Amino acid sequence: MKKRKNKKEALKQELVDALDQPVGEKELRQLEVKTKAHDPALWEDYLWFSKQRSRQGVFGELSAMRSDEPGRGAIQRFHQRRKAEEATGADLETLVWSWFQRYVLTVGIVLIILFAGLHLGENGVSEANGREEVEQFLGWNQEELPEPDHWLYEDF
Amino acid sequence: MQTSPLTEHELNRHLPDFYPRIYRMVRSMVYGTGLDAEDITQDSFLKVYRKRHLYNGKSSLYTWTYQIAKNTVRDALRRYRLQRRLFWWDESDKDNIEPTEFVSSEEGNNTLDSRERKRLLHEALARLPDRDRLIITMRDLEGMSYDEISDVENVAAGTVKSRLFNARQKLRKELMHLGAHHEFENR
């Protein structure tokens, strides 16, 4: 099945080649026999295609369209658009950069200062707490104990 | 192989040659959709100018440009079809035929008969799947070589030929369907 399909594709390629280059009568006859033996419809298509090469045939009409040109000034219009878009792109870049400078950088610097301040403040508080704990542990800052006034101590 | 990056000056030099060819392909691809071929062509070239540093010279500059244009037009068609599917009740863009300006250098010979045949051909082409329309446009309209087409499509030259044969068969069927078969039959 696959072999048959490959054969068909190869035949199509040969037929396209035969349409592009003039083929001798003998070779054409051989191609006809070969094609018809495989798929007669292909040969019919080939014959129709070969008729279409004249100026008023399908391929003639299509190749005549090759001389058609886009509307006048198309290339200038393209250059105008390109310049306009490049300028817009550059403007946008400048706008984004200035916005970034104005807002993001300013806000960023303010935030950095704020966080640094908070961090320092936190350190100060914890430092004070730590000192208190050490003093309590060592008993340096202990409050004066009240004089013992119990009857048990009277004799002393 | 392109060793130095592609300059804007180089692109400007090729533009007058490439622009009409790409425009004809885009026009053939978007025929009947109401999409603006000039707009899509400009989009394609804007991409080419922006991405010129990516050109490595493995293929010719023309086929590289063509590939970018092919992808741009496919994206535009995909968006257009999606929009049609989403807004199926909106009929405003239907029956948009030939909105773009096109100047034939053979204006004098452009008889009604010839114009009608051209219209029928465009209509039949528009009914083909994108891939078939593109291959016929590249080979039969633009006259690109099989090597160039295989570069653009990234397939072997033999595959290009069998695909071309299939596409031409479909075009024939569509012309028959439009009743225009005989218009071209005995020419």
- Residue spans of the domains in chain B: they are 1-90, 108-180
Boundaries of every domain in chain A: 2-65, 83-141
| B68/B45 Cα distance (integer angstroms) | 8
Tokens describing residue B42: 């400009």
What pLDDT, on the 0 to 100 scale, is given for residue B184? Answer: 74
Which of A14, A65, A69, A82 is most worth mutating to test chain B (most B CB atoms within 10 A of its CB)? A65
Which fold, B108-180? Arc Repressor Mutant, subunit A (1.10.10)
| Calpha distance B111→A56 (Å, rounded) | 12
C-alpha distances (whole Å) from B104 to each of A64, A68, A92, B113, B118 are 9, 4, 40, 15, 12
- Assigned CATH topology for domain B1-90: Rna Polymerase Sigma Factor; Chain: A (1.10.1740)
DSSP 8-state code for residue B3? -
Distance between CA B120 and CA B153 in Å, rounded? 27
Residue in B45, B71, B57 with CA at minimum distance from that of residue B153 = B71
Question: Distance (Å) from the C-alpha of residue B85 to the closest C-alpha of chain A?
Answer: 31
Q: Any idea which residue has 């001798």 for tokens?
A: A24
Is B42 exposed, middle or buried (CB count within 10 Å of its CB: 0-12, 13-18, 19+)?
buried
SS3 at position B102 = strand
pLDDT of residue B110: 54
pLDDT per residue as tens digits for the range B152-186: 999 999 999 999 999 999 999 999 998 876 667 65
pLDDT tens digit sequence for B62-96: 999 999 999 999 999 999 999 888 877 766 555 45
- Please answer whether residues B57 and B75 qualify as being in contact, where contact means their C-beta atoms are separated by less than 8 angstroms: no
Please report, in angstroms and rounded to a whole number, the separation of the first and last CA atoms in chain A.
125
CA dist list (Å): A40 to A32, A36, A45? 9, 4, 9
Q: Is A40 on the interface with B (CB under 8 A)?
A: no
* Cα-trace Rg, chain B: 18
Interface TM-score (ipTM) > 0.85: no
Tell me whether residues A58 and B184 touch, CB distance under 8 A.
Answer: yes
Tell if the CB–CB gap between B175 and A58 is shorter than 8 Å: yes
User: Which residues of chain B have a Cβ shorter than 8 Å from any chain A Cβ?
Assistant: 15-16, 19-20, 23-24, 38, 41-42, 45-46, 49, 100-106, 114, 117-118, 121, 136, 140-143, 158, 161-162, 164-166, 168-169, 171-172, 175, 184-187
Beta bridge partners of B102: A70
Task: Give residue B101's pLDDT.
Answer: 43
A70 touches chain B (CB under 8 A): yes
**Percentage with pLDDT > 70 across chain A:** 76
- CA dihedral over B152, B154, B155, B156, signed as positive or negative: positive
A65 to chain B, any CB pair closer than 8 A? The answer is yes
Q: What is the DSSP letter of B29?
A: H
